[in-house]
Structure 1
Amino acid sequence: MKIQLLSYLLLLCCGTLFAQQKQFKVLHATTKKPVSNAHVYKDLVLIAVTAKNGTFILNQEALSGTYNVQAFGFETISFEVDKNSLIQLIYIAPAPEVLSEVIVQSALNPIILQKEATAINIVNSDDFSRTDGTNVLESFNNVPGIYVNQGALNTNKINIRGIGARSQYSTNRIQAYFDGIPLTSAEGELTLDDFDQETIEEIEITKGPTSSRYGAGLGGAIHLYSKKNVSEGTQAELSTQLGSFNTQKHVAIASYSTAKSSINAAFTRLTSDGYRENGSYTRRSALVSGNFEAGKTGKISYLANLTRLKAFIPSSINATDFMNNPEAAAFTWKKAQGYESYDRGLLGASYSNKIIENFTNSTSVFVSFRDAYEPRPFDILKENTTSIGARTLFNLTTDILKVPSDASFGAGYYKEYYSTATYENLYEEVPNQGSLQGVGLSNNEQDRSYANFFGQIHLHFTKKWNFEVGFNVNTTRYSLTDLFDGDEVNQTGNYRFETVFSPRIGTSYQIATGKNVYVSVSQGFSTPTVAETLTPEGQINTDLKPEMGINYEIGFKGNWLRNTLYTELSVYSIQIDNLLVAQRTAEDQYIGINAGKTNHNGIEFLSSYHFRTANGISIKPYLSTAFNFFEFEAFTTNDKDFSGNKLPGVPEYTMNLGVDVVSESCAAFWVTFRSVGRIPLDDANSLYSENYQLVNLKASYPITLLDNLKLTIYGGINNVFDEKYASSILTNAVGFGGQLPRYYYPGNPRNYYGGLQVHYIF
């Protein structure tokens, strides 16, 4: 009887003890692996340290208020106790300055950035914090080797290592994805300015030919990842921002997360009158993303994005207006009140599952649409696009000839239905009324599809030496159906490009702790757009070939001074054959031709240093720079030989340096400096844009009103010294009717902005 009473007493005591405790688990935000030796603080007092499995326990009397989690190589985060969860999960992300610890999510085989034998740069919250947030592409200019032409909020053109510089008005020859869902159209066109940085966790940019991994991407690949919840519970955020040119941005974000699921929703409205005439802009967008567990080893993720845009177009201007009247719009665009408008949607879902212990699969399906209307001085364009696709990827961890290895293989299919029609623009017949639609000029349907089959193997010969080899097989075909019966030209036809095999080989070696060198050789390609394949007579040019490029690269990635200093250096050479050139046939009309070869040789350097002062202030200076030696190896067009000339549209160099200063209270100050070299304006190198320098300032100050309510006030100045510069260039512009050629898009003069952000944790 005494033994039974003693047993009951012990059980009661243990039950009371357990009831007074709660268990927590700290996990890596990307890999979901436990983080050991993480320190948990409350009111600057250390109260727990995580075990090897990432867990720690707090007593019931301590379960109130806000806690901080700190771990070497990770960002410090705050969390509130969720009393409804049995084991509360806490996700912490690698600190931006310790890039060597970042896991490359876009790699076919997940790998630490430092061990990846590829030039990959990360754009994250640090980069977003330095800008005014009106255009996510502004952060791309901090990446060495990338130059973004920003003609307006809706007129942006990205070139990576000079590839894409000859595009007239938009980005092409770059593959892009949002949470694994393709953003690049089947024709290779890309628009990223629809997305807001408030909804993005990070962006991974792979530079150079990447066809062995992602298909037709001669310039590279860009992967956007939606923002994830780092702790369980419900949160809401409201922000409003006002700036020069009557620019306004309003954002509402809500999120809910548990141990097994999460959902994030965001709505953004951005409006601006613009610095230039005919430059008003209105964009509304909504994004919903999330995930939930499916079975014991499965996970389903989903994404939905909707955008509605109406943006007027000031277009490019000539040198005289650029110097004397930069706020003016091009005469015909102003008179026609030209603009673009569209509704765009993207829906996708993916299922990830562990089939067996070392064998996993991830399969994604998606559908997207775009309904567009664009009145231009020379005609009115209507477009309608619907795309569907799927991609599946298998990963296997095994030994190959007793060598530890990671193998991946899979396939992707993409089908796009595109219809386009043009109409007369009668704006000259109705003065001061803007564009007026007239009779039809063309009506076409275009269908394009491509299939990719890919594979890659990582061999880990030793802990220091990694070797990878991969390939991609691509088939691309398209058809054109001419539905216009107002002329005698019939453009109907089918075409299929030859199957392209794109190999890749690379290796990295750890020469010392935290320091790796790598060498890689990869091939890439880009197929012509349907517009580029049409001759002036409206027939398909069946002799046109895809551009082909080979990238040779050697680089270094390393940490110094106990991981406080990170550096990257890469030297590369890209040779492109069958160069596709947009040859002008009228003021705003072009055809594509294969005109020769180009050499893209360059040097890129990146460095960031992070230290703390005695009073706890975090200071992070950084530098990124690129030196570009891009030229035509062999290029003849219209009986003119431009061989040996510099490639137009690319600056001779770019340099970005700055410093981020953050106090213990999270008050912050940012200073950025950008220097851009001269840019050749035409193939003959007869004209160059002037080099320019920009200085931007920004500051923010947080105010904690309650334990779960935080207010942040911020403001900034762009172009502090009011530099006059060309923010974008239209290469090979030609003046018609005695007019000067319109090469220049003027950059914004000195401008100001300020905002207020409210964050609440329920």
Structure 2
Amino acid sequence: MGKLFTIIFLLISFMTQAQVRIKVVNSKTQTPLENVRVRADNGQNQVSNFSGIIAFSGSEVQTFTFFKSGFEAFSASLGVGEHVVELVEKSLNLSEITVTAFESERPLMEQSAAIALVSEQDFNRFNETSIVNSFNTKPGIRIEERATASYRISIRGSSLRAPFGVRNVKVYWNEVPFTSPDGTTALNLLDLSNIRTAEVIKGPSGSIYGAGNGGVINLYSQANPIGGRVTADFMVGDFGMSRYKLGISQQVGNGGFEASYVSQKADGYREHSAMDRQVFQLGGFFSVTDKQEIRTQLLISDLNYQIPGALNADQLAEDPTQARPGSVKQNSSISQQSVFASIGHLYRFSPKIKNSTTLYMNTNDFENPFILDYKKELGFGFGGRTKFTYDGKLAGKDLRIIAGGEYQTSLTDAQNFGNVNGAADTVRFADKLRATQGFFFQQAEWNLTEDFMLTFALSENFSSMEIDRQIDASGGATGLQTRKFDPIVVPRFALNYQFNDFSGVYGSISSGFSPPTIDEVRTNEGSLNLDLEAEKGINYEVGYRMGKGKLNLDLTAFYFILDQTITTYTNPQGVVLFRNVGSTDQKGIEAAIDYAFIRNEVTFIRDLKIGTSFTGNYFTFKDYQKGDNDFSGNALTGVPETTLVTRLDLRTKPGIYLNFTHQYVSELPLNDANTVYQDAYNLVNLRFGWAKSFAGKWELEAFAGVDNLLNESYSLGNDLNPFGGRYYQPAPTQNWYGGVKVAFLY
């Protein structure tokens, strides 16, 4: 009997010892974290208690993955015994943020450029139907929405030549060129769910990213799946808005996949401003070996939206919700279906050398009935980007060299018809279009000391376009016409000095160029303006960053000189045309500051943060002669001199949260003569809700909000230099929304 008790005692002792006991704490405050979901690689799932404690039985070393909302996911291999695991908050402290701008993954403090990070938290502060509000909280960035889903992006005033669409700004999505080789970007094909974070590089960045004076936007949607997650979102709002999303993320070995489907519809604030968009995304991540990774991406987008058109002052005063006369009858609208697929491969040759290569292809079916005509385009494009990265030494100092290239080409069958009551009539002209752009880039980052880094980069750029006119019903010339832009070298030189771990300064000199797009050369009335020149600019910039504890500060001053500036005007028939007008002089100040009054996972108020961003654009035409009129010295058209944004964010222990945003935009000139201005306006947005996790497996959020709380009358995207005084594209008045989100973790 004594031996039996001894055996039982030994078994109990062994079972007690054969246990992995984990205490999960906040890495900053060292306070215990409850409701942390922990997944073992044998499939077990458990949740930490109020003391942050969790225990797993077993005697073998296992890999445990830790999840908690507001904290970075973390994995660790742990064996029998007691362990303390520290989770890191998803912080926006500047000294802790890492960005991948200029193809160099470094802390933001070490980046020698003005870079704005738009995070998932920024997107979730608003209604999540578009990117507009979240991007517009950042200094130097202004996204306009002339009609529902009709975007125009201005980075430091770069929308001057974009009466519609996104031009003069290069956009990448998951490191793949999303901007077409002709320089336009169909950003509205993406739903906000296809974007988790965005990095915006302000000003010329051609040394790494090719053509473009406005800047670069790097969008990222992919995250390496950890565990499994199923989500469902639903939202409704004023003006007939509805949106739902279904998503799944699944880990498979060391990789995984994620898929989502989103449907969004709206009737619109104005007559003839409805939209309907469905987007399907499928992404995969596969860790082939320790040296190789493969990423795949598929996007299928079906977008339809109506174009109400701009109003003159009398029409605006009479009824801002009305459409421009003729828009309804002619069914002025856009229908666009697109497929975008890419594959990326990362190979590590050694700890010092690696290569990343992405290839893509896309198709585009575009149909645009307009008041004056009816356009149809069927296009196909492909391209790729590759880069080699070397981390080594030069004279005993750290040296990083990045070199590579990018190539894109597109083929489009474009036809313009007459428009009779919204239906395509007789063909007016038809073309086969080809646009090609490519460049090689090199960049060297040399740490002369531990605190001082020198960057030198340049790219060699090539671009051309071909317009093969097949039909010209007016009797004009047919045949092939080409425009090849001279190869141009675009350099960038930058310095970065760190005072300490949480503050530093930088300075840079960079040049850029931006050739005209096919839409600017080939206009809607059939003329070809092949003499249109590329814009060329040079940018001087200095900045200071500081991120310590609860305070973040980011200051930038720049001086940008642009030659051969492309501006727009409208002929008596209402066709938008383009011209080079000399040069502009652009001086600017950008500042962002935020302070976290409270950040504590124990108190009732978990987070209380206030932030402010300021943009001062002091932009003028330097040399602009138009006929007998000299507009030199006038303020740059379409650019407000001052923008001030204030944000307040509150989160409590029960899960109740509040996000408040106030945006002030000063008056802005609507024509080159500076005789017509849009009035200054104040825009207030508010979102509040409740979010909670249950049993480590369920996440639930209920929310509501209001846009334009003060019911301001304003235009978020005016027409510039229009014929007949049609300047105004009225934005929605006060409107409410609400919804729920559900996620199941398995």
Give the counterpart of 2:135 among 121, 136, 140.
140
Aligned-residue offset at 1:152: 1.7
Q: Which residue, out of 581, 594, 597, partners 1:595?
A: 581
Task: Mark the CA change 1:644 to 1:238 in structure 2 (over 3 Å): closer, same or farther.
Answer: same
Gaps of at least 5 residues in structure 2 are 1-9, 35-47, 79-84
SS at match of 2:326: helix
Match of 1:576 among 562, 575, 580: 562
Equivalenced residues, count: 714
Question: Which of 297, 301, 305 in structure 2 is aligned with 1:303?
Answer: 297
Pairing partner for 2:172 from 156, 174, 177:
177
Residue of structure 2 equivalent to 1:625: 614
Deviation at 1:513, TM superposition (A): 3.5
Which of these residues, 714, 717, 721, is aligned with residue 728 of structure 1?
717
In structure 2, how many angstroms separate the alpha carbons of the residues matched to 1:293 and 1:581? 48
Distance 1:239 1:68 in 2: 24
Counterpart for residue 44 of structure 2: none
2: CA distance, partners of 1:110 / 1:67: 25
Tell me, in whole angstroms, the C-alpha distance in 1 between the residues paired with 2:463 and 2:23.
51
Equivalent pair of 1:489/1:538 in contact (CA under 8 Å):
no
Secondary structure, aligned partner of 1:322: helix
Q: State the Cα deviation string for residues 631-684 of structure 1 (Å, max 9, x = none).
A: 100011234221110001111111110111011233211111010010101000
**Distance across 1 between alignment mates of 2:116 and 2:86:** 23
What residue is the counterpart of 1:168 in the other structure? 163
Structure 1 counterpart of 2:82: none
Q: Is the contact between residue 68 and residue 76 of structure 1 (CA under 8 Å) also seen in structure 2? A: no
1:758 partnered with 2:745? no
Q: Which aligned pairs between 1:500-579 and structure 2 lie closer than 5 A?
A: 500-534=488-522, 540-560=528-548, 563-579=549-565
Aligned to 2:424: 437
Q: State the 1:46 CA deviation.
A: 4.3
Name stretches of at least 5 consecutive residues in structure 1 with no aligned partner: 1-10, 29-34, 49-56, 84-89, 428-434, 736-740
**TM-aligned CA distance change 1:343 to 1:688, over 3 Å:** same
Cα contact 2:148–2:274 (8 A) shared by 1 = no
Whole-Å separation in 1 of the counterparts to 2:482 and 2:14:
75
Q: Does the Cα contact within 8 Å between 2:507 and 2:542 map onto a contact in 1?
A: yes
- The AA in structure 1 aligned to 2:282 is V
Distance 1:263 1:67, change over 3 A: closer
Which whole-Å deviations, capped at 9, do the CAs of 1:101-148 have from their partners, x for residues lacking one?
Answer: 222123322111111010001001221111111112321101101112
- Cα 1:706–1:414, aligned 2, differ >3 Å: closer, same or farther? same
- How far does residue 191 in structure 1 lie from its aligned partner after superposition? 2.5
Tell me which amino acid in the other structure corresponds to 1:716: G
Match of 1:128? 123
Of 409, 416, 432, which residue of structure 1 is paired with 2:410? 416
SS of the residue aligned with 2:316?
helix
The Cα shift of 1:582 comes to: 2.6
Aligned to 1:490, which of 457, 462, 478?
A: 478
1:679-718 correspondence to structure 2 within 5 Å = 679-704=668-693, 706-718=695-707
Deviation at 1:761, TM superposition (A): 1.0
Classify the secondary structure of the residue corresponding to 1:336: coil
What SS is found at the alignment partner of 2:721? coil
Pick closer, same or farther for the CA change 1:438–1:91 going to 2, 3 Å. farther
Mapped pair 1:461 → 2:445: no
> What SS does the corresponding residue of 1:321 show, helix, strand or coil?
helix
From 652, 662, 667, the equivalent of 1:673 is 662
Q: Which amino acid aligns with 1:653?
A: T
User: Aligned pair in 2 of structure 1 residues 624, 96: CA closer, same or farther (>3 Å)?
Assistant: farther
Amino acid at match of 1:747: A
Match of 2:45 in 1: none
Q: Which digits, 9 at most, give the CA deviation of each residue in 1:525-580, with x for residues without a partner?
A: 100122433599967555432100101000001123xx211010000010001112
Deviation at 1:476, TM superposition (A): 0.7
Tell me, in whole angstroms, the C-alpha distance in 1 between the residues paired with 2:413 and 2:17: 66
Q: State the SS of the aligned residue for 1:165.
A: helix
Task: Find the aligned partners of 1:370 and 1:206 in 2 and give their Cα distance.
Answer: 27
Distance 1:77 1:361, change over 3 A: closer
Letter of the 1:508 partner, please give it.
Answer: N
Q: For residue 475 of structure 1, what is the aligned residue in structure 2?
A: 462
**Hey, what's the Cα distance between the residues in 2 that align with 1:69 and 1:508?**
36
**CA shift at 1:40, angstroms?**
6.5
Q: Do the aligned partners of 1:136 and 1:193 also contact (CA within 8 Å) in 2?
A: no
Report deviation, 1:93. 7.3
Aligned position for 1:610: 596
Give the drift of 1:156.
Answer: 1.5
SS at match of 1:492: strand
Q: What's the Cα RMSD here?
A: 3.2
Task: Give the drift of 1:462.
Answer: 1.5
Q: TM-score, normalised by structure 1?
A: 0.88
- 2:232 is matched with 238
Counterpart residue identity of residue 622, structure 1: G
Note if contact 1:97-1:609 (Cα within 8 Å) is conserved in structure 2: no
Q: Which moved more, 1:698-707 or 1:717-726?
A: 698-707
SS state of the match for residue 107, structure 1? helix
User: Per-residue deviation at 1:701?
Assistant: 0.8
1:702 is displaced (CA, Å) by 2.4
* Residues 675 and 692 in structure 1, CA contact (< 8 A), matched pair in contact too: yes
Task: Write the letter of the residue equivalent to 1:630.
Answer: F
What corresponds to 1:357 in structure 2? 351
Instruction: Measure the CA separation in 2 of the matches of 1:611 and 1:547.
Output: 46
Aligned counterpart for 1:269 among listed residues 247, 251, 263: 263
CA 1:24 to 1:580, structure 2 compared with 1: closer, same or farther past 3 Å? farther
Provide the residue aligned with 1:745 in structure 2: 729
**In structure 1, the residue corresponding to 2:328 is in which secondary structure?**
helix
Identity of aligned residues (%): 26
Amino acid at match of 2:563: D
Distance (Å, rounded) in 1 between the aligned partners of 2:29 and 2:251: 23
Q: CA deviation at 1:259?
A: 5.1
Match of 2:434 in 1: 447
Determine if contact 1:490/1:538 at 8 Å carries over to the other structure: no
Cα distance between partner residues in 2 of 1:608 and 1:47? 34
2:99 aligned partner:
104
The AA in structure 2 aligned to 1:609 is Y
Whole-angstrom distance in 2 between the partners of 1:348 and 1:22: 43
Alignment CA distance shift 1:401-1:695 (3 Å): same
AA aligned opposite 1:746: P
CA distance in 2, matches of 1:91, 1:485: 70
Cα pair 1:135 1:153 within 8 Å, conserved: no
The structure 1 segments of at least 4 consecutive aligned residues displaced by more than 4 Å after TM superposition are 11-19, 22-26, 35-41, 57-61, 66-70, 77-83, 90-94, 534-542, 703-706
Say yes or no: does 1:348 pair with 2:342: yes
Shift of 1:708: 1.2
Against the structure 1 CA distance between its residues 606 and 729, is the aligned structure 2 distance closer, same or farther, given a 3 Å change threshold?
Answer: same
Paired position in structure 1 for 2:329:
335
- Matches of 2:31 and 2:441, distance apart in 1: 39
Distance in structure 1 (CA, Å) of the matches to 2:583 and 2:505: 30
- Aligned AA (1:44): F
